[in-house]
Amino acid sequence: LAYPVRDGIPIMLPSEARSLPFDDGLPPPRL
């Protein structure tokens, strides 16, 4: 999946984040 990136941090949309197992309300991890 491709996400918009801001300052090197991928930004997930809420609908996409909910489909991921590690979604716990925190921002996505740095790559």
β-sheet bridge partners, residue 9:
6
Contacts of 13 (CB under 8 A, 6+ apart): none
* Predicted confidence (pLDDT) per residue in 3-26, tens digit: 666 666 666 666 655 555 555 566
The first and second tokens of residue 19, run together, are 């489909």
**Cβ 8 vs Cβ 28: under 8 Å:** no
pLDDT band at 29 (very low <50, low <70, confident <90, very high): low
Report the alpha-carbon distance of residue 18 to residue 14 in Å, rounded: 6
pLDDT of residue 18: 57
**Exposure b/e, 1-23, CB count within 10 A at least 16 = b:** eeeeeeeeeeebeeeebeeeeee
User: For position 4, what pLDDT does the model report?
Assistant: 66
